[in-house]
Amino acid sequence: MALLQDRIVLVNGGSQGIGAGIVQAAVREGATVAFTGRRAEVGEKLATETGALFVRADLADPAQARDSVVRTVQAHGRIDCLVNAAGLTSRGSLLDTTPELFDQHIAINLRAPFFSMQAAVADMKGREAPGTIVNIISNCAHGGPPYLAPYSTAKAGLAGLTVNAAHAHRWDRIRINGLNIGWTDTEGEDATQRAFHGAGDDWREKAAAAQPMGKLGQVDEIADFVVFLLSDRSGVVTGSVIDWDQNVFGGMD
């Protein structure tokens, strides 16, 4: 049987990048999937390709973050699994981050997952049914580079939220885990490298050559791992924030 057979899955931030890969993997593993995104043309294209339900939403608005769960339940009767994959990676250091940029990072990278989790857990508890949640975090939760100060701050908060919520709802049989994703090859990362770091067409090759495994993280690999964590095959694991990375934090050369 497929890993997510007959499960209802919502992927917030699922219209592109890692989120889109998770949508595709969840559909392949038998799930009925809904996903959110801001751009209608991108979301509708993925919906056509996968048969998943596209819910247009701006997750910076906490009401829309909660409503993504409500609309999933309205369409499919319940929610079994939630993935928070939306992320904002715009640059800012401690010295040059404005309050507006800081608030943008908190809104997308922390507040949106908080309130979508709130709505999902409420549905699961209301039905007295088990469920699973996976938060896509970042290795920047360990500290991050100086130019990602607000991003690192928000992602560290999401790591803390993951553990807190997992502890709070373990007796409800709701398992909540997170992945600290390392450097990954996505279309969004390509745009970021070009916009903020002056990268050329060969940036992927140069970046891969500098990594221990000789490559950047791949979307399909992350998606498969997320499906595993959502599924019963990951057993009783909850409250884990896993470093999905090829660099070992705390190690020294």
Cβ neighbours of residue 192 closer than 8 Å, sequence gap 6 or more: 89
Can you tell me the distance from the alpha carbon of 68 to that of 163, in angstroms, rounded to the nearest whole number? 23
Give the closest residue to 87 by CA, choosing from 106, 71, 72: 106
**In whole angstroms, what is the distance from residue 174 CA to residue 195 CA?**
40
Distance CA 133, CA 1 (A): 21
Residues 6+ apart with CB under 8 A from 139: 180, 181, 182, 243, 245, 247, 249
Is 147 one of the catalytic residues?
Answer: no
> Which member of 35, 54, 115, 151 is catalytic?
151
Q: Which two tokens stand for residue 141?
A: 């939760």
Catalytic positions are 151
